[in-house]
Structure 1
Amino acid sequence: MTNKKLIIVATLAALAQAGFAETDPSVAIKSAPGQVSVTGSVKTTSTVVGIEADTRTVWLKDAKGKVVQLVVGEEAHNFSQLKLGDHVTAEYTQALTVTLKKGSAPLSASESQNISRAPLGAKPGGTASREVTVMANVTAVNHQTGLVTLRGPQGNSLDLIVQDPDQLKLIKKGDQVQVVYNEAVAISVEPAAVK
């Protein structure tokens, strides 16, 4: 990933996670034999209460009165379109799917990303998404505690607690697990209401 993309993703993620959660996160869990998916999202709206053009700094205030200061990178188009009173809406979504795989595929890790920005001249906004896929080996299963130990392609280990006894019965040492992690954030700016 280039530094430009890192800056954009970091800015978008900061907006979504800056403590502006106006809505409680919605969480959905889906389970099928050998597979579990968890998805969560949170939406937030804040108001632009300060802009410092020279340093590209913006102050955002949420509905509870909390103010957060953000520096917007040069990669974000249309910074000059921001005005005091504009409403910034961010929706942040994360999903994790763990799938039990029988067999012996090579251990692997891959990542893909997508970024889109508002066209020049429009209000600032955009979306950023990322998907990480890892194939790992099950190196230990403790049926008493529900602890499953995974070893990834770089040799690192991770312990997971499997609370569903029916799912735990399907897992044994030597199996493989595919983990897919997705995250996305969408940012939009709406003009301030005319008084």
Structure 2
Amino acid sequence: MRMTILSTLATLALLTQPVIAPAQETTGQSMTAPGKAAFSQTVKETTTVVGIDPATRTITLKGPKGVSNLVAGEEVRNFDQLKVGDKVVAEYKQALSLDLKKGGGGIAGQTERESGERAPLGAKPGGSAAREVTIVANVVAVDMKKQLVTLRGPKGNTVDLNVQDPDQLKNIKKGDQVQAVYTEAVAVSVEPASKK
């Protein structure tokens, strides 16, 4: 069920990708504190339905940069509710938070959660899906001169992170852990054509 929802929303969200331009709104923010950092971004895109082929379930969308076609699979509920002139609105959110765990001692690991919803029967097509991945990695090296922190993840892979803030860097020691939480969500809705 959740993979159907994710694939449905991904399909609808991809619809708007080739036609991104002035109809795209992007907002973002970041926050840092000793041993913590958080970043987030939201992108909202709007296109207009200019054609529908019920036989092939193909939707033609128009945006500021042109026209694109999307084939809506059977998992797209309420296809028959689409009308020429409807607006397809996709909102995509990403967030990442980092939290330093002094002294470590925990086990490096990874967890993942997914959720989603489809439009109710009889409504315009749409829905939402979200995914959250939490990773705990061990600090295996700190290079103050190069401003690098080396982390080892739960699968044994390592990554070097550049930490440019000296106040943040001085707090990190070998043996500490870093917990990273990455969240992404997409919501797709169809708004009725405006009546003339």
After TM superposition, the score normalised by the length of structure 2 is 0.90
Identity of aligned residues (%): 56
1:127 is displaced (CA, Å) by 0.8
Can you list the C-alpha shifts for 1:91-113, whole angstroms capped at 9, x where unaligned?
Answer: 11100001111221111111101
Amino acid paired to 1:184: A
Count of matched residue positions in the alignment of Structure 1 and Structure 2: 194
Distance of 1:114 and 1:18 partners within structure 2: 27
State the partner residue of 2:98.
Answer: 98
TM-score, length basis structure 1:
0.90
Once the two structures are TM-superposed, the CA of residue 158 in structure 1 deviates from its matched residue by 1.9
1:121 partner letter: G
**Stretches (4+) displaced over 3 A:** 15-19
What whole-Å deviation, never above 9, does each CA across 1:158-191 have from its counterpart, x for those lacking one?
2222121111111122211100000111111111
Which letter does structure 1 place at the counterpart of 2:119? Answer: A
Secondary structure, counterpart of 1:54 in structure 2: coil
**Maintained 8 Å contact 2:114/2:132:** yes
Report the alpha carbon displacement of residue 49 of structure 1 after superposing the two structures with TM.
Answer: 1.6
Q: Does 1:162 align with 2:163?
A: yes
What does residue 68 of structure 2 align with?
68
RMSD (Å) for aligned C-alpha atoms: 1.9
Cα distance in structure 2, aligned partners of 1:13 and 1:108: 31
1:191 maps to 2:155 = no
Q: 1:122 maps to what in 2?
A: 123
* Aligned twin of 1:139: 140
Cα deviations across residues 79-98 of structure 1 (Å, max 9, x unaligned)?
11111111011111100001
Q: Which moved more, 1:49-58 or 1:159-168?
A: 49-58
- In structure 2, the partner of 1:181 is 182
Question: Against the structure 1 CA distance between its residues 167 and 191, is the aligned structure 2 distance closer, same or farther, given a 3 Å change threshold?
Answer: same
Q: Distance in 1 between matches of 2:73 and 2:111?
A: 27
- Write the distance in 2 (CA, Å) between the matches of 1:3 and 1:90: 18
Distance 1:187 1:6, change over 3 A: closer
Alignment of 1:3-152 (within 5 A): 3-15=3-15, 17-18=17-18, 20=20, 22-62=23-63, 64-102=64-102, 103-152=104-153
Consecutive unaligned residues in structure 1, runs of 5 or more:
none
Which residue identity is paired with 2:76? A
Give SS of 1:10's match.
helix
In structure 1, distance between residues paired with 2:151 and 2:174: 9
Q: Please state whether the residue corresponding to 2:50 is helix, strand or coil.
A: strand
Could you tell me which runs of 5 or more consecutive residues in structure 2 were left unpaired when the two chains were aligned. Answer: none
